[in-house]
């Protein structure tokens, strides 16, 4: 446990010293994963709501598919996005490989199924409670989906958090499409992998601790806001 102790000490020193490189890495991690989460929510939440409320052929297949895709290995997603963005790939002309945009894209692909599947669950429960009322008021299914998305906004924060948690913690996808380039695409997880490679376990551990604290803090804030909102709106 001496490694853990020294990890905590080192974490404090690095953060307090305002180590610019460390802060850049932390900020890039946040920027990439938060953006990926927002995009995944913009796509996954309406999709999940339509899967819950809609009646169309292939809906069940899609539900199973999205549930299964929650377990997609990041490396596979990374590889797919790499092949897509590579100069030899279909989107190669944009030159996006080894940029934060590529990392955002990969994480978005990775977590959209998670957000969609969790949203579907939340909306399905709300739909159970409200479908008679919404039918009675003459809301179309599309309208009903939108209404339920808004009405379950506090519960849906959990779906967003789950996606964010997976995004910021994954290393396989961003390593492949970002390339772990110093100062450009190096995020917390790829730095941890690199420092582990170099055998600098205390530094790797320190970064791990910072990552955990960060994720905890964000979870804490969201849960506090959610609790406050639920007390406010019932």
Partner 1 sequence: MMTKASSLTQTWRRLLGACCLALCAVGAWPAQADERFITVASTTSTEQSGLFAHLLPVFEQASGIKVRVVALGTGQALDLARRGDADVVFVHDKAAEEKFVAEGFGVQRFEVMYNDFVLIGPRNDPAQVAGHDILEGLRRIASADISPRPPFVSRGDRSGTHMAELRYWKAAGVDLDQAKGAWYRDTGSGMGPALNTAAAMNAYILADRGTWLNFRNRGDLRILVEGDTRLFNQYGVMLVNPAKHPHVKKDDGQKFIDWLLSPVGQQTITAYKINGEQLFFPNARR
Partner 2 sequence: MSTWLQLERLRFAPGERRILDDVSLALAAGRTVILGPNGAGKSTLLRLIHGLLRPHGGWLSWRRPLSQAMVFQKPVLLRTTALGNVIYGLKLKQPDAAKCRRRAEAALDRAGLLHLAAHPARLLSGGEQQRVALARAWALEPELLILDEPTASLDPASTREVERIIKDIADSGARILMTTHNLGQARRLAEEIVFIDDGQMIERTAVADFFKAPQSAAAKHFLKEEIP
129 binds, options partner 1, partner 2, none, Cβ within 5 to 8 A by partner type: partner 2
Query: Contacting partner 2 (CB under 8 A), which of 38, 151, 196, 226?
Result: 151
Q: Which is nearer to partner 1, 1 or 88 (CB)?
A: 88
Query: Contacting partner 1 (CB under 8 A), which of 66, 98, 127, 164?
Result: 98
Furthest CA-CA distance within the chain: 65
Should residue 133 be labelled a site residue for partner 2 when binding is judged by CB under 8 A?
A: yes
3-class DSSP state for residue 214?
helix
Q: Which is nearer to partner 1, 55 or 198 (CB)?
A: 198
C-alpha closest to that of 217 among 153, 156, 168: 168
Query: Contacting partner 2 (CB under 8 A), which of 68, 137, 217, 224?
Result: 137
Beta-carbon contacts of 232 under 8 Å, excluding residues fewer than 6 positions away, are none
Query: Which of the residues 181 through 210 are near partner 2 (CB under 8 A)?
Result: none
Query: Contacting partner 1 (CB under 8 A), which of 55, 60, 198, 231?
Result: 198
Tell the smallest beta-carbon distance from residue 152 to partner 1 (Å).
14
C-alpha closest to that of 206 among 5, 54, 61: 5
The angle subtended at Cα 73 by Cα 25 and Cα 21, nearest 5°, is 5
Query: Contacting partner 2 (CB under 8 A), which of 139, 149, 168, 205?
Result: 139
Rounded to the nearest angstrom, the gap between the alpha carbon of residue 150 and the centroid of all alpha carbons in its chain is: 20
C-alpha closest to that of 170 among 225, 216, 110, 127: 110
Which residues would be at the binding site for partner 2 (CB under 8 A)? 129-130, 132-133, 135-139, 143, 147, 150-151, 153-154, 232-234
């Amino acid at each position: 446990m001496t490694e853990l102790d020294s990890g905590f000490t080192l974490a404090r020193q690095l953060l307090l010293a305002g180590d610019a490189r460390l802060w850049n890495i932390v900020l890039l991690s946040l920027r990439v994963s938060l953006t990926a989460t927002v995009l995944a929510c913009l796509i996954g939440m309406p999709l999940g709501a339509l899967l819950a409320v809609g009646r169309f052929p292939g809906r069940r297949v899609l539900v199973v598919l999205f549930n299964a895709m929650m377990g997609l290995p990041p490396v596979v997603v990374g590889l797919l996005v790499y092949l897509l963005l590579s100069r030899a790939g279909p989107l190669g002309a944009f030159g996006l490989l080894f940029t934060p945009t590529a990392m955002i894209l990969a994480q978005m692909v990775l977590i959209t199924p998670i957000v969609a599947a969790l949203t579907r669950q939340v909306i399905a429960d709300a739909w159970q409670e409200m479908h008679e009322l919404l039918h009675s008021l003459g809301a179309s299914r599309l309208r009903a989906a939108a209404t339920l998305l808004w009405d379950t906004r506090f519960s849906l924060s959990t779906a967003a958090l789950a996606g964010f948690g997976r995004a910021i913690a994954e290393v396989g996808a961003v390593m492949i499409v970002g390339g772990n380039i110093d100062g450009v695409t190096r995020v917390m997880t790829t730095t941890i992998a690199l420092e582990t490679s170099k055998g600098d376990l205390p530094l790797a551990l320190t970064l791990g601790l910072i990552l955990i604290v960060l994720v905890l803090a964000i979870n804490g804030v969201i849960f506090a806001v959610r609790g406050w909102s639920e007390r406010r709106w019932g």
